[in-house]
Structure 1
Amino acid sequence: MKKKKFYLDPPKILVIGFALIILIGAFILTLPVATTDGEGLSFLNALFTATSATCVTGLVVVDTGTTFTLFGQIVILSLIQIGGLGFMTVATLFAFLLGKRISLKERILLQESLNNISMEGIVRLAKRILIFTAVIEGTGAVLLSIRFAFDMPIGKAIYYGIFHSISNFNNAGFDLMGEFHSLTGYVADPIVTLTVCMLITLGGIGFIVMNELYEYRRSKKLSLHTKIVLMTSLFLVVIGTIGIFCLELTNEKTLKPLSFTGKILGSLFQSVTARTAGANTLSIGDLTQTSLFLIIFLMFIGASPGSTGGGIKTTTFTTLIGAVWSQIRGKEDVIFYRQRIEYETIYKALTVTFSGLSLVTLVTLVLTITEHGKDFLMILFEATSAFATVGLSMGLTPDLSPIGKALIIFTMFAGRVGPLTVAFAVTMRRKPDAFRYPKGKIMIG
């Protein structure tokens, strides 16, 4: 009798690949050489840190700058880079260096990893991603190193510049400033604020969009996907900046003590970073409840497809808004820039959004049981931040119970891998039905 060949489809390979990288990272972080006290982290804390780094989240149970040695910090930085680019893109880099040919199976995995619609030109795109990453992270590192050199020795400034450039381009939000302060010391500094905003934005719009913008000088055209990503991203940043500015203007603990320029920079940074980055220049715990709820909304939407960020993605949000607006106007089709959105895409957007909402709701519900006495908004904020792989926290993360830590680990992993694989699986596995049932009518609303 012929044995049935065991086959792993691309989504399963990606899930297993991410899980293996996390486990290897967690094991390394338990080693004595990884921490300043020479004892290593407990496995649960190491697993939490490795998951947060690989899933480019930024939630931390221990302070990165004071807990880890240089070796431990480099391990975390490596996990961030692999997690941000995707392990298949990193594997492709090594294949290029070794002169190895990229097989069809590897091309399919690359397509899945980058959440790209077509496999055409996928290897060329991977090459450009590596070039874009090197140029952008290098530029960010130089600018930040020059600024940090005014506050610390030149060697330390260069290292800090490199670390924070890689961390923020990959939308991870890990920092070395110590005592969970993130970048609050630079709230009114235009160089640090604008450089990090640039890194977060470029990492968050997606490599596909970045590639199209690069090609624009030759093609003189942009796809519908790129137009929607740019339009939605700009809209959310502007709305977030204005909202935070107005809501925090009289808050003594955030914007009020700052100059007008500082107020603008602080509002802009907090709006940009809410889109899955995790760094902060304003103290999250001191923000008003309305601001926190606005940030939860921005976090849930997140970055764009094929990027280093998480969330349900900008295109998903815009597709749903378009569908609602079409229904209100009594139109059958959803139209953007004189192009019709297929029903399959709308169903996909509904699936991703409902999956995200269900996960955040369930995690919040369980955390209200495991984290006794904690504020509900703090718990909802933490759950959304973990799902959207943002990394912002109101201070709950270090105080999580073991069950709470395990739950947030699962949420970060699901938030990074889940929406990507579920969305792609919905598209790739759709099969026409052999027959159709008669129409039924139900009342809505």
Structure 2
Amino acid sequence: MVFSSKGVVFTNYINKRIIKKILSFTPAQLIPIGFATVILIGAILLNLPIASRDGQSIGFINALFTATSAVCVTGLVVVDTYTHWTLFGQITILFLIQIGGLGFMTMATLFSLVLGRRIGLKERLLIAESLNQCSLEGMVRLTKQILLGTLLFEMSGAIILSIQFIGEFGVANGIYKGIFHAISAFCNAGFDLMGEKEKFSSLVSYVDNTMVNLTIMALIVIGGLGFSVWDDVYRVKRFKELRLHTKLVLMVTAVLLITGFLFFALLEYNNPNTLQPLGVKGKFLATMFQSVTPRTAGFNTLPLPDLTNASKFFTIILMFIGGSPGSTAGGIKTATAGVLIFAIISVLKGSEDTNIFERRVNVQVVLRALAITVISLSIVVGTTVILSIFEQASFMEMFFEAVSAFGTVGLSLGITPSLSTVSKLAIIMTMFFGRVGVLTMALALTIKMKKSNANYKYPEGKIMVG
């Protein structure tokens, strides 16, 4: 009895120490820890023999790669999702995609609301950080709207896709595929179950299918706009009354989609391996899809290795920019790209201020955007260098793979399954950095350095640039 009471006291002491340690972390530190925890749990589950059709463990590195790709909503795969994974494995991947797409804090808030638990200040700080919000006001309300909107969009997409797939795969399998692809598309994950037709084929067989193309594209764009943009568009009916962030995101998104469409149409129109054999409808759908999917979606309706080099490089640019802040997408984000473009325009005009839609942008925002872009480029370059050392592939294939991993896109020129262990680990880290956010990771790693900074300024110095 004495031993039992001592054991309880010791256990309570350990639990308190753990809780105290967790509470000592900042939101910027807890977010990557939370994602890493979900990835580790997913890797353990996918490494179980029950997850593979052959009844054999896939190996921890491959399981970790798949779990990271799912939680980071990337879509890069070392094995075909349909032919390798059992129903247990596929559903595990689907849950990881949903958690990764919405963010683990959004899912944690959902469970807290279901259990009737009060959302405290610490949780609100974490939600705000994970959703890229500047204010704590309305965090619970926004989370509820995110969950409701996600359910509405994914359910609508699942119903439309199921109607198409039931005729091909039967009722049960068709509904399952409809649900799987709706969630994967909305979360910008890019995982598919079309290996039943051909391994690693993605949506190539639906290149001219209007229903599938329009539904998948709509889910990708909506999921990649950002949850705060939803909230603003829902509440405000006139463009002029929207917040500056929303205006910038919508404008950059529209410009990228239109530019991508025109660019791919021009470069691929006479390509006998992509657009040339298709009819007018097929050409339009395939070109539009190719413009949408690099926004971190990962599906493809055209064989990517057959694209022209110019199209591959333009796809890399779109993948690097990605979607919007606080969304299911990755990349440096549309808002970051927009701020940098307007900052460059301001410099060319000789203006000291960066102005967007008749509003002045704080210089700290411009510096933040510049830091994100430079750090992101450094990660992509570093990953490409590692791949070039350990892989026997072309530079375009390796650069494409690195940017796809960082942008959490999932498009590949076909080298993912043959990557070496070192390259897989490099891609895993790149996907993780891309999903969590480079600035969040940088803040998490340098938090002690920030605390030690003294509150003073050095004398101004002169440097010539340009």
Same fold (TM over 0.5): yes
- Residues in 2 aligned to 1:438 and 1:421: alpha-carbon distance in whole angstroms: 30
Give, in angstroms, the shift of residue 332 of structure 1. Answer: 1.0
State whether residues 276 and 309 of structure 1, in contact with CA within 8 Å, keep that contact through their aligned partners in structure 2: yes
Contact 2:433 2:441 in 1 (8 A): no
Match of residue 86 from structure 2:
69
TM-score by length of 2: 0.92
Displacement of 1:219: 11
In the alignment, is residue 113 of structure 1 matched against residue 130 of structure 2? yes
Per the alignment, residue 394 of structure 1 pairs with 413
SS in 1 for 2:241: coil
| 1:383 aligned partner | 402
Q: Distance in 2 between matches of 1:169 and 1:70?
A: 21
1:77 Cα deviation from its structure 2 partner: 0.1
> How is 1:185-200 mapped onto 2 (pairs within 5 angstroms)?
185-200=205-220
Unaligned stretches of 5+ residues in structure 2: 1-16
SS at match of 1:181: coil
- 210 and 421 in structure 1: CA distance in 2 versus 1, 3 angstrom threshold: same
- After superposition, the C-alpha distances for 1:75-112 in whole angstroms (9 at most, x for unaligned) are 00000000000011001111111111101111111111
Match of 1:442 in 2: 463
Q: Aligned letter for 2:326?
A: G
Deviates more, 1:416-425 or 1:281-290: 416-425
Separation in structure 1 between the aligned mates of residue 239 and residue 109 of structure 2, nearest angstrom? 27
Identity of aligned residues (%): 54
CA contact under 8 A between 2:32 and 2:441: conserved in structure 1? Answer: no
Among 424, 432, 436, the alignment partner of 1:405 is 424
2:263 maps to a residue whose letter is: G
User: Matched residue of 1:335: which SS?
Assistant: strand
Shift of 1:418: 3.2
Secondary structure of 2:169's counterpart equals: coil
In the TM superposition, 1:27-106 aligns within 5 A as 27-106=44-123
SS across alignment from 1:151: helix
Match of 2:375 among 355, 372, 382: 355
In 2, are the aligned partners of 1:145 and 1:158 still within 8 Å (CA)? yes
Does residue 151 of structure 2 align to residue 130 of structure 1? no
Q: CA deviation at 1:221?
A: 2.3
Deviation at residue 433 of structure 1 after TM alignment: 6.0
Contact 2:193 2:202 in 1 (8 A): yes
Offset at 1:417?
1.1
Q: How does 1:250-329 map to 2 (within 5 A)?
A: 250-329=270-349
The count of corresponding residues between Structure 1 and Structure 2 is 441
Return the offset for 1:435.
Answer: 2.9
**1:306 aligns to what SS in structure 2?**
coil
Q: CA 1:111/1:431 → structure 2, altered by over 3 Å: closer, same or farther?
A: farther
Separation in structure 1 between the aligned mates of residue 153 and residue 352 of structure 2, nearest angstrom: 42
In structure 2, do the counterparts of structure 1 residues 408 and 262 end up closer, same or farther at CA, with 3 Å as the change threshold? same
Contact 1:352/1:423, CA 8 A, preserved across alignment: no
CA RMSD, aligned part only? 1.9
* Corresponding residue number in structure 2 for 1:370: 390
Q: In 1, distance between residues paired with 2:444 and 2:95?
A: 29
- Per-residue deviation, 1:437: 2.1
Q: Distance in 2 between matches of 1:431 and 1:332?
A: 31
Distance 1:42 1:266 in 2: 37
Larger Rg: 2
Change (3 A) 1:406 1:432: closer
